[in-house]
Amino acid sequence: MTLAVNTQTILGRPRGGSFRRDLMGVAVIAVFAAAGYILFPDNLALLTRILSVALLVLALDLVTGYCGVATLGHAAFFGSGAYAAGILSAHYGINDPLLMTLGGIVAGAVAGLLCAVIMLRAHGLPQLVLSIALIYLFHELANKASSWTGGSDGLSGIMPDPVFGLYEFDLFGHTAYFFGVALLLIAFVLLRLVVRSPFGMLCRGIKEDPLRIRAMGASPNAALAKMYVISGAVAGTGGALSAISTQVVALDALSFTQSAEALVMLVLGGTGSLFGALAGTLIFMLFEDYVSAANPFHWLTMVGALLIAVVLFAPKGIYGTAAAYFTRRGEANR
């Protein structure tokens, strides 16, 4: 005789409810956002910039942290998003911030696909070099197409309408800040879903052993290309936010420096976790802002020293190391 057994009970469930962690994540971001708003009301422009760069670093984490593809060209998608949103407003009079954001998302995704097609032909060091070549090409293209982008003068004349026709982008940056927080929260929740999905699991496999994934009948390159599109869309969102909030787009949105800094922030926070990406961005940009004001001559030295300290003593990144520490503590106390 066979008993009808619920298979779920046979295997049980892995520890740690993921839904609760999602809620906690949203709560943590909301608390930080509120704290920033209350503590630094005069510095909302900086905070909004942190939000837009955080989207770039999250996007980078998707391909570097979750899929293992090292790249120094990720600002290409951020910049594409920024220019798309800016051009929509400055040249086409499409000033609805939601449409501008959508334009940024689409442009980032398209740029992501384009770069994936080129980058995924190589592996390792040649791939890294390709990413650098691509960011230079994007940069040069934006520089040359000055009738569209304003070239080295930057793109101006971006005038976003009020959000939902109600909330005007004010001089103090209140609206831009809340708009950015909303974008980050939405991106965070969607990405949590993605990294836990079957696709996210597939990508973790690819990161560890692409040949094994092929032996399971899945195409690593197809999956990576898909992740590039998603990543491009997220970075493009960040770019659009930057264009909408600052109302200008400068060439360095699309620069090697911006790409490299994003990678530094990711490593600082910890790769392969969304919180690591957020923590890295926050710490790097606050540190940069604080130190460059306190000591304008040596701030780069201090940033360098911080980086060396983290890489040597906390190779999993600040968040990654802290998380590992608390997990171990938690297990010891069980």
The DSSP line for 63-85 is: HHTTT----S-THHHHHHHHHHH
Contact between 10 and another protein by CB under 8 A: the answer reads yes
Q: Which is nearer to another protein, 11 or 293 (CB)?
A: 11
Within positions 201 to 240, which residues make up the interface with another protein, using CB under 8 A? 201-202, 204-205, 208-209, 211-212, 214-219, 223, 226, 230
Which of 197, 199, 212, 206 minimizes the C-alpha distance to 64? 206
- In whole angstroms, the minimum distance from the beta carbon of 289 to another protein comes to 35
Contact region for another protein (CB under 8 A) — 38-46, 157-165, 195-203, 315-323? 195-203
Contact with another protein (CB under 8 A): which of 1, 2, 7, 125?
7
Which of 261, 273, 267, 241 minimizes the C-alpha distance to 79? 241
Q: Which is nearer to another protein, 170 or 208 (CB)?
A: 208
CB atoms within 10 A of CB 71: 24
Map residues 139-178 to x or -, x wherever contact with another protein holds by CB under 8 A.
----------------------------------------
Contact between 122 and another protein by CB under 8 A: the answer reads no
Contact with another protein (CB under 8 A): which of 43, 128, 143, 196?
196
Q: Which is nearer to another protein, 162 or 205 (CB)?
A: 205
- In whole angstroms, the minimum distance from the beta carbon of 6 to another protein comes to 9
Residue 117 · residue 94 · CB < 8 Å? no
Contact between 193 and another protein by CB under 8 A: the answer reads yes
CB atoms within 10 A of CB 115: 28
Please state, in angstroms and rounded to a whole number, the distance separating the CA atoms of residues 268 and 279. 8
- In whole angstroms, the minimum distance from the beta carbon of 225 to another protein comes to 11
Contact region for another protein (CB under 8 A) — 10-18, 128-136, 245-253, 305-313? 10-18
Sign of the torsion angle spanned by Cα atoms 198, 200, 206, 209: negative
Contact between 198 and another protein by CB under 8 A: the answer reads yes
The DSSP line for 80-137 is: HHHHHHHHHHHHH----HHHHHHHHHHHHHHHHHHHHHHHTTS-HHHHHHHHHHHHHH
CB atoms within 10 A of CB 67: 23
Residue 195 · residue 59 · CB < 8 Å? no
Site residues for another protein per CB under 8 A: 7-8, 10-15, 18, 193-194, 196-199, 201-202, 204-205, 208-209, 211-212, 214-219, 223, 226, 230
